[in-house]
Structure 1
Amino acid sequence: MNYFYIFLSAIIAVNTLISVITVFSDRNRDIAAIWAWLLVLNIFPVIGLIIYLFLGRKISKEDIYNLREQSKVGLPKYLEIQNNIKIDQLEYIEKKDFNDPKNKKFEMAKMLMRIEQPPISLDNEVEYFVDGREKFDQLIADIKKAEHHVHVSYYIFKGDKIGKRVVAALEEVAKKGVEVRVQYDPVGGRTLKKSLFQQLESYGGETDTSFGSKFHLLNIRLNYRNHRKIVVIDGKIGYVGGFNVGDDYLGEYENMGYWRDTHLRIEGTAVHQLQERFIIDWNASKKAELIAYEPYYFPVVESRGDTKIQIVSSGPDSELQQIKTGFLKMINLAKESIYIQTPYFIPDDALKETIELAVLSGVTVRLMIPNKPDHPFIYQATLSYAEELMNIGGEVYIYDKGFMHAKTIVIDDEITSVGTANFDIRSFKLNFEVNAFLYNKKTALEQVEYFEKDMKDSYLLTEEIIEAYSLWDRFKQQFSRLLSPIL
C-alpha cells in the first residue's frame, strides 16, 4: 500500500511540475487562461495534460508567419487598390468633427481601418435572412444563376438533405464550366464523407479543408477553427452570417427545435472584401491550387444600394482581436441602446466592464440568449454572465421558441454587426471569424425589429428564476465560468 501512495504522489508531483512548465512556457498567454488551464491540469491529472496537448497549445510563431505570408499570395494588386482607397477615406474622415453624434460611423470605420481592416464599401444592397429554409432557397437559386465562379466556405458542412441540395446545385453549374471551390473546417466537417463531393470534382470542382486534415488529431491547430461562413457568386453576390450547412439549421432536429439565426445577402463592392477573405483562406490551406488575382474575381458591380459596410476578419494569427475591438468601440459609442443576440455570452473583462459602464450610464442594454445548450459548459457560463448583467440593470431575454444562434449587435438604431463571431472568448481569440459592420439606419432599424419580434417568443430573466436555481445549478455555472477563458 505504501508503494501505491508513493506512486500516486509521484504522479501528482510530476503532473504539477509539467503543468506549471507547460502553461507558463508561453509568456504571451493571458492570466485568466493560465489559471483555467492550471485548474484543468490539476483537477484531472494526466487526462488534463492530454487535453492540453490537443487543445491548449498556441499557434507557433512560424505558423503565424506562414499564415500572414500566405495572405499576400495572389492578391498584391487588389490589396494595393484597397490600401489606396483606405488612405483616401482616412484623409476624408480626419476632417470630421467627432463631437457631432452623426459622425459615429466615421469614428468607428476609422478605428477599424487602423487595425488592418478594409476601407468602407459605400454602395451595398443588403437582405436579412433569419430562417434557414428561406436562406438556403435563395442561396441555391443564386448558385444556379452563376456564370463564372462560386466560392463556398462553411465551418460545418453536412452530407444530409440540405447539404446534398447545395452540392447538387454546385454540380449543376460546374457541369456548365463554372469554377466551383468548396472549403470547410476539418473539425466542423468531421462527419462529412468525401464521397459527397466526388461527382462535383469529376466536373472540375475543387474541395479542400482549412488548416489541416480532420484525421491529423495532433495538429496544433485543432483548437483554432475556421468558423467563417462565406459564399461569393461571380464576385457580385455575397453571403455571410451564422447559418452552417446542415438540417439542424433548418429546424429539423427535434431536440433543438426551431433554429433562429441571422445571415446577410449582399450585393455591392463589400462582396469583393468577402472574396478577398475567401481567397486568402483558400490559399492559406496550402493543399489546393492557389488562386491568383484576376479582374473577373473582382468585377465592376452595378449596385443601387446605399448601405456602407466593412467586412472585418479576426483570428489567432493576429494579436489585435479586430472583431472584439469593433464590439468594444460600438458599445463605447452607444448613447441610447445596445441590442445583442448571441448563443454564447462569455465576455472577457474588457467587454464586461464596457457593458457595465454603458448600463450604469443609462444606456438600454438588451441581451438575448437561447433557452437550451448546444454546448453545456459554455451555456452554464453564459447563464452566470447573463445573471451578472441582469443584476446591474441590463435586460436579459431567454429565447423560448427554439435555439437562438444569431450573432448580432446594433447600437442606437445606427450601427449593426452581423457575422460569424459569437460574444465569447473563443470567437475573439481562438477562431478565425468574419463579421460585417453596417453603417445604415434602415438596416439597423430592421435588426431592432427582428429583436423586438423575438422578444415575443422569449421570457425575461428575473430574480425569481435565479432564486430557483439549485445548488447543483450554481456549481455548474461557477465551475464553467472558471473554465470560460479556454472554452
Structure 2
Amino acid sequence: MNDLTLALHLLVRDYWHIIILVLSLVVGASAAIHAAMTKNDVRAAISWVGVIIMSPLLGPVLYLIAGINRVRRKHLLESRDQNFKDHTHYPEAPVSDVSELVGPQFRSLHILGDRVSRFQLRNGNHIQVLAGGDMAYPAMLEAINQAQHTIALQSYIFDNDPMGKKFVHALAEAHDRGVEIRVLIDAIGVKYSHPPIHGLLRRKGIRCALFMTNPLGMRMPYANLRSHRKILIIDGYRAFTGGMNIRAGFSSEFSQGKPAHDTHFMVEGPAVVQLVSSFAYDWQFTTGEMLSYQQWCADSWNPPKPWVPLRCIRSGPDRFIASTHHMLQGAFAVAQRHIRIQSPYFLPDQTLMGALNTAARRGIQVDILIPGQNNLKLVNYAMMAQLDQVLQAGCRVWLSSGAFDHSKLITIDGAWSYVGSSNMDPRSLRLNFELDIEVYCRSTARQIENLIDAQIEEATAISREDLAAQPFRKRLRNRIIWLFSPYL
C-alpha cells in the first residue's frame, strides 16, 4: 500500500461520518435546487424539497428515480429531430368555424383546441358510440379479421385471459395473411395478468413492445409514468379508441352475464391520421422504428354519414403536458346550460374543482356520475374525501348502481363531447400518456348524454349530509388516503 492509498484509507476510517455528512449535504442541496428550478407546480416543488431536506440521503435517491421527468426531455429532443415524421398530412382544409354546428359559445373552445393540440379540427369523420364490451369487442375483432394491410394496437391493459386470447388469435390469423402488425402495451398494464400476454404475441410472430421498461438502464418498469392510451387502427382507415382495455371482465361471454361497463368509439375519416400519428410517435419512442405515412395511413376516406368535426388531444408528461387540463378548463368556462361528467376516478385538482364550482355558481347544472362500486378502493376513499368541495358549490354527485363503470365521458350543453382514456384525477392529468377526442356534434353529445342520464335515473344522489354522517374513523381514513391521491 503506497503513501497516498494509506492516507486515503486513514482519512476515510477516521472521518467517514464527516465525509457522509458533507456528501449528503452536497447531494441534497443539488437535488433540492434542481426541484425548485424545474418544477412548475409549486406543490410538487415544495413536496420534493421537503422530502429531500427531511431525508438527505434517501430523499435525493427517490427524487432521482421518480422526480425527474426524463420522458419529457426525451420527447422534447425527439420533437426537434428532423428525421422524425409526424403524420399530419391532410387533403382537406380544417374546420374554420363551429358556430353554425354547435353554437357561438364554442368558437373560443375551438381556438383553444387549436393552440393546445398540434392536430387541427377536421370534418368528414363518422363516429359510432360502442356502449360496453359486448358492442366494442366484436366490432374490433371483426375489423381485425377484415384487415388487409396494417394493424396498430395500443392498450394499457391487454390481459392473457379468454378475451385477450381471442384478440391474439385474430391478430395471428391476420399476421398469417401478410398483414403488418404492431402491438404496444404498457409495461405496468401488461402485468395485470400472468403470464403476461406479450410472450404469447411474440410466439405467434407478432411484433410487440412494452412501453417504459428501461429507465436509467435498469430492467424495471417506471411505474409512475404509464401509457394509458387505447387505440386500434385498421389499414389506416378505421380506428377504435376510448376507455376500454382488453379484459374478459368487460364481456358478458366471460363474466357470467354481469360484465363491468365501459364506452368505446369507432372512428372513420381523416381524424384516423391523428390516431396513426399518436401511435407512430409512441412506437418510435419505445422501439426506435419509424412508421411510414404511406404504409400506415389510408390514401382517402369515404366514411358513412353523418359526418362530424373532431380531433385528437394527446396529453402526458412530455411536450403535451396539461393539454386535457387546459381543454377541460375551457369547456367548463364556456358552458351555458349543462355539464355532464362520468368518471370512474373523480379527483380533480383545485384548478378544475374551481372551474366546476364556478360553473355551478353561475347557474350551470353540473352532474357528476361516479361508480357506486369502484374497482380501486383507495381511489374511492380519496374521492369520498373530496366530494364535499363540489357539493357545497351546487354540483350534483351521483353514485351509479350495478356493475363498475370505467367510462370517461364529458358533454357540454348537449353539443360538445370529450371522450377517451383520461380520468379526472392527478395521474391522468399529470403522469399518464393519454389520448382523448373532442367532438363538435349535437347528435353524438345526445347519445352520450343518454348513456349518462340512463344511469343517473338508477343512481343514488350523494349529499354533504351523507358524507358528514359517515363514522369519524372512515372520514379520517378517507382524508389520509386523499393526501396521497397524486400517487394512487
- 2:251 corresponds in structure 1 to 250
Q: Offset of 1:467 from its aligned partner?
A: 2.6
2:204 counterpart of 1:200: yes
Residue 413 of structure 1: SS of its match in structure 2? coil
How far does the alpha carbon of each residue in 1:36-68 deviate from its partner, in whole angstroms, 9 at most, with x for none? Answer: 557777999988777655433322664233342
2:270 counterpart of 1:269: yes
Residue 294 of structure 1: SS of its match in structure 2? helix
Structure 1 residues 309, 282: closer, same or farther in 2, change over 3 A?
same
How far does the alpha carbon of each residue in 1:359-379 deviate from its partner, in whole angstroms, 9 at most, with x for none? Answer: 000000000111234333322
Task: State the distance in 1 between where 2:132 and 2:65 align.
Answer: 35
**Structure 2 unaligned spans of 5+:** 1-19
Structure 1 residues 43, 23: closer, same or farther in 2, change over 3 A?
closer
Task: State the distance in 2 between where 1:361 and 1:14 align.
Answer: 56
2:370 counterpart of 1:369: yes
**What residue identity is the alignment partner of 1:63?**
K
Task: State the distance in 1 between where 2:131 and 2:42 align.
Answer: 38
Task: State the distance in 2 between where 1:444 and 1:435 align.
Answer: 15
Q: Is the 8 A contact 2:241 2:264 kept in 1?
A: yes
- 2:38 corresponds in structure 1 to 28
- 1:120 corresponds in structure 2 to 121
Residue 387 of structure 2: SS of its match in structure 1? helix
Aligned residue pairs, count = 463
Q: Is the 8 A contact 2:113 2:327 kept in 1?
A: yes
Task: State the distance in 2 between where 1:400 and 1:14 align.
Answer: 57
Structure 1 residues 387, 109: closer, same or farther in 2, change over 3 A?
same
Residue 283 of structure 1: SS of its match in structure 2? helix
Q: Is the 8 A contact 1:328 1:351 kept in 2?
A: yes
**What residue identity is the alignment partner of 1:301?**
W
Match runs of 1:8-407 below 5 Å? 22=31, 25-26=34-35, 27-29=37-39, 30-37=41-48, 54-59=65-70, 62-69=73-80, 73-75=84-86, 78-79=87-88, 81=90, 85=93, 89=95, 92-93=96-97, 102-190=103-191, 191=193, 192-201=196-205, 205-213=206-214, 221-250=222-251, 258-287=259-288, 289-294=289-294, 297-303=297-303, 304-318=305-319, 320-407=321-408
Q: Is the 8 A contact 1:73 1:292 kept in 2?
A: no
Task: State the distance in 1 between where 2:24 and 2:215 align.
Answer: 29
Structure 1 residues 20, 384: closer, same or farther in 2, change over 3 A?
farther
**Segment drifting more, 378-387 vs 41-50:** 41-50
Structure 1 residues 475, 24: closer, same or farther in 2, change over 3 A?
farther
**What residue identity is the alignment partner of 2:340?**
Y
Task: State the distance in 2 between where 1:185 and 1:214 align.
Answer: 14
- 2:476 corresponds in structure 1 to 475
Q: Offset of 1:275 from its aligned partner?
A: 1.1
Task: State the distance in 2 between where 1:117 and 1:428 align.
Answer: 18
Higher Cα Rg, which structure: 2
Q: Offset of 1:130 from its aligned partner?
A: 2.1
**Segment drifting more, 325-334 vs 64-73:** 64-73
**What residue identity is the alignment partner of 1:74?**
K
**Segment drifting more, 189-198 vs 228-237:** 189-198
Task: State the distance in 2 between where 1:355 and 1:23 align.
Answer: 34
The share of aligned pairs that are identical, in percent, is 24
**Segment drifting more, 132-141 vs 110-119:** 110-119
Task: State the distance in 1 between where 2:250 and 2:78 align.
Answer: 31
**Structure 1 unaligned spans of 5+:** 1-10
**What residue identity is the alignment partner of 2:69?**
K
Q: Is the 8 A contact 1:151 1:232 kept in 2?
A: yes
Q: Is the 8 A contact 1:40 1:48 kept in 2?
A: yes
Structure 1 residues 245, 43: closer, same or farther in 2, change over 3 A?
farther
Residue 403 of structure 1: SS of its match in structure 2? coil
Residue 285 of structure 1: SS of its match in structure 2? helix
Residue 113 of structure 1: SS of its match in structure 2? helix
Q: Offset of 1:293 from its aligned partner?
A: 2.1
**What residue identity is the alignment partner of 2:70?**
I
Q: Offset of 1:486 from its aligned partner?
A: 4.0
Residue 125 of structure 2: SS of its match in structure 1? strand
**What residue identity is the alignment partner of 1:129?**
L
- Please, what is the CA RMSD of the aligned residues? 3.4
**What residue identity is the alignment partner of 2:442?**
K
How far does the alpha carbon of each residue in 1:92-127 deviate from its partner, in whole angstroms, 9 at most, with x for none? Answer: 44xx889x9812343222211122431112112211
Normalization by structure 1: what TM-score? 0.85
